[in-house]
Amino acid sequence: MTSEREKILRYYRASGEGELAARLLDYAETVLRTRKYRASHFLDPFGFSVAETIAAHFAPLRLESSGGYEGAERVKAVFVHEDFLGSIDFAIAAVGIAWDARYYELSHRDMLGALMGLGIDRDVVGDIIMTGSGAQVVVDTAMAGFIETNLTKVGAAPVAVKIIPLSDIAPRIEKVKEIRATVPSLRLDVVAAAGFGLSRTKMAAEIAADKVKVNWQEAKNAAQAVKPGDIISMRGRGRVEICEILGQTKKGRISIFLKRFL
């Protein structure tokens, strides 16, 4: 285990994710010792890919996941020992948050800010689903009662909070827009501008403002190279998948096929 641990840590330290990898490796090591299971904190898709890598390196372990409802983006990864035959408790709950939509318009960012304002760590919060006049928030079971009791305002809006069944959360159905475009290069600002329908100058500013991620990691800079399979996400605008490079035009531009998830 030690040699495998160091190999994995070296790889993820190089990309600045050593702390996440070490934490997930600790969970895996616990399961190898106890022959039971261990659930992680909530992970974004990149974090879950790290958990998948770790589980793949240790034969006695399998990986399961849940985000509380079908199609969740943020999920808990559970390392399960092959000898464990019991049931798994993901320790996931949900709270419903309501306000008077006639007077207040709240966003995902407002909701997350209010939760963090209670001193809650992001790791114990899963998806935040905005429903128009309210929100449904997936959380660690241990935090649900605390949020129900202590969250009284989001911004200036008074809110009513109650614990709700996970079954009240509708499956996530994403709208997909297919985009075919030609671009001069595979720079991040160029491809993202085509995918999100913004000017290259505006996109470069959004990247500089840390509003853009590539494969759920902070974008390095506007000139960062992207490739097929990469996911570009932008705060408040969804995400774009680079599906295929279709070739070059006679004028030397690159033809690309993208999918935008709204």
> Which CATH number goes with the domain that contains 132?
3.30.70.330
Give the per-residue pLDDT at 170: 86
C-alpha span between 153 and 159 (Å, rounded): 5
Co-location of 148 and 106 in the same domain = yes
Do 72 and 97 fall within a single domain? no
List C-alpha distances in Å: 4 to 28, 57, 59, 75, 158.
12, 7, 12, 25, 51
pTM, to two decimals: 0.79
Which CATH number covers residue 249? 3.10.290.10
Return per-residue pLDDT of the chain as tens, 262 residues.
Answer: 568 889 999 988 887 889 999 999 999 999 999 999 999 999 999 899 999 999 999 889 999 999 999 989 999 999 999 999 999 999 999 999 999 988 999 988 899 999 999 999 999 999 999 987 799 999 999 999 999 999 999 999 999 999 999 999 988 777 899 999 999 999 999 999 999 999 999 999 999 999 999 998 889 899 999 999 999 999 878 899 999 999 999 999 999 999 998 7
pLDDT of residue 191: 97
Q: Is residue 87 a part of any domain in this protein?
A: no
CB-neighbour burial class of residue 21 (10 A; exposed 0-12, middle 13-18, buried 19+):
buried
Same domain? For 114 and 162 the reply is: yes
180 and 257 share a domain?
yes
In angstroms, how far apart are the furthest CA atoms of the chain? 64
pLDDT at 1: 55
CA nearest neighbour of 235 among 96, 79, 107, 48: 107
Say if residues 137 and 128 touch (Cβ distance below 8 Å).
yes
The verdict on residue 20 lying in a domain is yes
Task: Give domain status of residue 33, yes or no.
Answer: yes
Quote the CA–CA distance of 204 and 199 in Å, as a whole number. Answer: 9
- pLDDT on residue 196: 94
Q: Are residues 182 and 255 in the same domain?
A: yes
Examine the domain organization and report whether 190 and 250 are in the same domain.
yes
| Res 231: pLDDT | 94
Same domain, 251 and 217: yes
Q: Are 117 and 98 within one domain? A: yes
Residues 183 and 141 in one domain: no
Verify that 195 and 254 share a domain, yes or no: yes
The Cα 74–Cα 87 span in angstroms is 22
| Residue 176 vs residues 69, 195, 240, 262: alpha-carbon distances, Å | 20, 12, 9, 6
Whether 45 maps to a domain, the answer reads: yes
Q: What is the model's pLDDT at position 2? A: 65
Total domain count, the chain: 3
156 and 210 in a single domain? The answer is no
Q: Is 86 inside a domain boundary?
A: no
Domain boundary among 81, 105, 120: 81
Q: Please give the residue range of the domain that contains residue 19.
A: 2-81
Residue 158: other Cβ atoms inside 10 A = 12
Q: 231 with 192, same domain?
A: yes
